[in-house]
Structure formats: C-alpha cells, structure tokens
Amino acid sequence: MRFDRIQAKWNARTIIAHSKPHVCLVTLVYLLATSGLALLLSLFVVNPMQAANQYVMDWAAGGGVGSLTAEEVLAAAYAGSSGVLGVFASVLLGLYQMVMQGGYLFYITRLVRRERGGYADLLEGFGIAGKVVGLNLLIVLYSFLWMLPVTVLFTAVVFLAALSQSMAVLLLVYIAGVVGMVAYAVWVSLRYAMSVYLLMDQPEQGVLWAIRTSVQTMKGWKKDLFVLWISFLGWSLLSAVTGGLAGIWVSPYTSLTIVQFYEFISGRQTISAEEIPPVNGGNGF
C-alpha cells in the first residue's frame, strides 16, 4: 500500500478549514515568535556572517582593489563587542527556534489525530528542550560525518580533473560532482527526516532512539517523501515571493501533509478517514 499524496493534501486542506482556533492564526503566532523575533533581533544585533558578507560585497562593488584576506573579513565580522554579541544571539536564537519548531510539530500532530490543539501546544517543546536541541545537533553531526568522505572524494576528483588542463573535462566533472553531492545530501537528510516527529510523538524516548528509528522507518519510503517535498516546491516559492506572508497558510498545509506521511509509515493511520471528504479529482498541488 502506497502513500496517497493527493488524499493527504485534501485532508490537510479540510483540517485547516475546520480547525478551532484556526490553524493559520496559530501559525501566525508561531512565525512571529520565530521568524519575527529573528527579524527584530537583526535590527539591534549585528550578525557576524552578514557583516562578513557585506564587507566582501562592498569590496567587490569597489572594483576589488587590493587583496582580500581572511583576516580582514574576520576583523570586519567581529569588530568590537557587537560581533561577539551577534554570535551569542545567533546561537541562542537557533536553539530557541529548534524548540519552537518541536512545539509546532506537536500541535500539527494533534490536529492530524483529530485532537484539540491550540496556542499552548507551541510551548510543548520546552518540556524536552534538551532532547530537541540534542537531536538537532546530533543530526547535524551525523550528516557532516556522512558528507565528509564524499566531499573529500569530490575535491580529489576535481583536483585530478584540473591536472588534465582541459576546461571542458574540469567543467563536466565539477557539474557531475555537484549534482551527485546534492543528491547524496538529500538522501542523508531523508534518513533522519522523521526523527523530530518521533521524538515529539514519544518524548519519553531518547534522541538516539529517534534517530535510529527514523533511519529504519524511512527504508523504502525515501522516494515517497522526496516526491512529497518536491510537490510543495511551488508553494514554497509563493511564500518566498510574498515575503513569507503566504507561509501563514503554506506552513500548516505542508506540515499537516507531512505529519500524515509520518502517521502512515508508522502504521498509526491510513490516509482515508470517514470524517474526511473523498477526493474528487485534483492534481495533488
């Protein structure tokens, strides 16, 4: 039995239409508490990465006169105490957003299970903040370890191609390598894609259990989830074009559908439910 993407999206729209409080309002609060806070913070605290990027852009706009050293870029990024404060604020904000994301997924999961959900659910992640942060950091570490040998191999192959002194060969190898690395990175991310859902669903379990279970659960389902991700690409572009405003609807629509995928591959729920209207046509978008 395969995952019915079209039916899942129809279910998501139905849940959005009948949710009380409305899921878009809860999502608005979530986005204000995360992305909104990040924007507000950027007005008062200098992000070192942005400062370094601006320094490089200014140098390029000036015609690239003189040499550009790593020491100069670092000095511009961490000028004065504002650079150190920016690093601290960025790290703290990132950890906070991880925890808030966990709470939002908890809320979305309750809606999918036809349970009453509300604004207070957004704070559920703080009850297991250590686990949520630890899970995300471990995923980053494991992903890095998986990518490291491939990156080394890619660098070696490009170096050998450069020795051929053929620009055509170098370009071909580089493009093929980049495509291969992107595909490999997607495969790695798909392995751990269900980890946070598992942890928020069973918070009494540990982070290693969530990671191992995600790897096992995703066997045979990576293609389905990848296709599901791609099917939301247009909506993501719409959200970006509207400056994030469309995200008030796109975020819950996407999350509700992916949680149904999690429920389905976990054996907790079939996509069709008696209280959900059947699909009459549609293209899955």
169 part of a folded domain? yes
282 part of a folded domain? no
What is the DSSP track for 161-173?
A: HHHTT-HHHHHHH
Domain coverage including residue 55 = 5-265
276 part of a folded domain? no
**pLDDT level of residue 69 (50, 70, 90 thresholds):** low
Query: Is the omega angle on the peptide bond into residue 203 within 30 degrees of 0, that is, cis?
Result: no
164 part of a folded domain? yes
**pLDDT level of residue 262 (50, 70, 90 thresholds):** very high
272 part of a folded domain? no
pTM value is 0.82
280 part of a folded domain? no
pLDDT in tens, 113-137: 999 899 999 999 999 999 999 999 9
Q: Is the predicted pLDDT of residue 273 greater than 50, yes or no?
A: no
Total count of domains within the chain: 1
Furthest CA-CA distance within the chain: 70
What pLDDT was estimated at residue 158?
87
80 part of a folded domain? yes
Mean pLDDT, residues 176-180 taken together: 93
Determine contact, residues 248/27, Cβ cutoff 8 Å: yes
In the 3-class helix/strand/coil scheme, how is 214-270 assigned residue by residue? HHHHCCCCHHHHHHHHHHCHHHHHHHHHCCCCCHHHHHHHHHHHHHHHHHHHCCCCC
**pLDDT level of residue 67 (50, 70, 90 thresholds):** low
140 part of a folded domain? yes
